[in-house]
Structure 1
């Protein structure tokens, strides 16, 4: 895959890490405009890159390699007993919709989620500019998977769509529904969506074993992690 590595890359300044407070973070940023399309981005996902808003990046920290890109091979994924139960409960009680465009009721759900669930994080306090610049993209198809309780929107999974894969960007949900493990349920729905669409992978972003907030990703198995520039299976 080295032949796909872009020739125009920038290096950010170092700044405080959002996940490990005692570390400094630095990013490789793609500057080549030809990389900003779904097929080329899929090549870059295979090289450990990700997007935030319109920008493609990859961690490149001088003294830390804690971030490992993670993906799920859709055909190999096996639901645990707990995941089967959570998915069955959600499907029995709620209904699922798909949208190719952002809907007006998304922001209030996002704002409530950040205020109640992440008031100690870097995304607090939420605002519309931050929301739009983080989640949405002008050069890539984005699918919004919605979960509804009757006529109330309770969860949204923002999902990038590439020719042969999906990338889970962010999920936000109504905090009153915590007992339904909606963060897990929405990933399971993305895996189902990928399988129904005949896609090979769902990318889950970066796994950081030292970060407690990332621990939920370890329950999705088997997974592959991009370690030392090679995808390795983690059972």
Structure 2
């Protein structure tokens, strides 16, 4: 983000709070003024500078003694799925993907509750809460949407996806956690779908949020190569 862009944006910093990714660490977060009208060009510029959307908020880590969080993006044109990813795509050829507005749905929320209860009982979003869900995953912004993945009429996964000028931003995915669907690797498939969708749209990037070398939860992101990380000197391709 250029200094010219920064000059007209109010920024707010949170007090230190427990880090969501690294146990025992304290974190601070930089937020964009929530009253600011966010256009797609501005959102794209902020994403280039490492910001991320959560509900109505655009934020990035701003920790004095830690720089572990690095924004990650896939180079769409050069991406070639590995053997495992090809199998994931094949196993999910029977799914129908449909883009819908980022609205609240009882069906979506029921799936989200199953997912959080089964996969993230140790996380900040447990227990699932409707108000928290609405603030996190519903949006009236025209660049925000949801993608439903269905097996016939059964909803198996929902991906929140934002459209930028130069790519898609993978905000969050939740999916059916039951053992009968485990071989589908629905989380990975949602990313593969977004990469292919970006390719169809002629967009160069899929933004995957933050990558942290010491966080096991982040390791899956390095399987989508080539991957670029935002460093202090700009975006750089890595072989993490």
TM (norm. structure 1) is: 0.94
| Match for residue 81 of structure 1 among 77, 80, 83 | 83
| Match for residue 169 of structure 2 among 157, 167, 170 | 167
Give the alignment of 1:151-230 within 5 angstroms: 151-176=153-178, 177-230=181-234
Q: Identify the range of structure 1 (136-145 vs 224-233) with the bigger mean alpha-carbon deviation.
A: 136-145
Give the alignment of 1:48-67 within 5 angstroms: 48-67=50-69
Structure 1 stretches of 4+ with a deviation exceeding 6 A read none
Give, in whole Å, the separation in 2 of the partners of 1:213 and 1:35: 33
- Residues 100 and 142 in structure 1, CA contact (< 8 A), matched pair in contact too: yes
Question: How large is the RMSD of aligned CA atoms in angstroms?
Answer: 1.6
List runs of 5+ in structure 1 lacking aligned partners. none
| Match for residue 116 of structure 2 among 107, 114, 117 | 114
- Residues 25 and 60 in structure 1, CA contact (< 8 A), matched pair in contact too: yes
Closer, same or farther: CA 73–157 of 1 in aligned 2, 3 Å: same
Give, in whole Å, the separation in 2 of the partners of 1:172 and 1:28: 26
List runs of 5+ in structure 2 lacking aligned partners. none
Describe the superposition over 1:24-50 as per-residue Cα deviations: whole angstroms up to 9, x where unpaired: 110111127455122101000000111
- Equivalence for 2:149: 147
User: How many residues are paired up?
Assistant: 234
- Residues 116 and 127 in structure 2, CA contact (< 8 A), matched pair in contact too: yes
- Residues 47 and 229 in structure 1, CA contact (< 8 A), matched pair in contact too: no
TM (norm. structure 2) is: 0.92
Give, in whole Å, the separation in 2 of the partners of 1:229 and 1:182: 34
Give, in whole Å, the separation in 2 of the partners of 1:34 and 1:19: 28
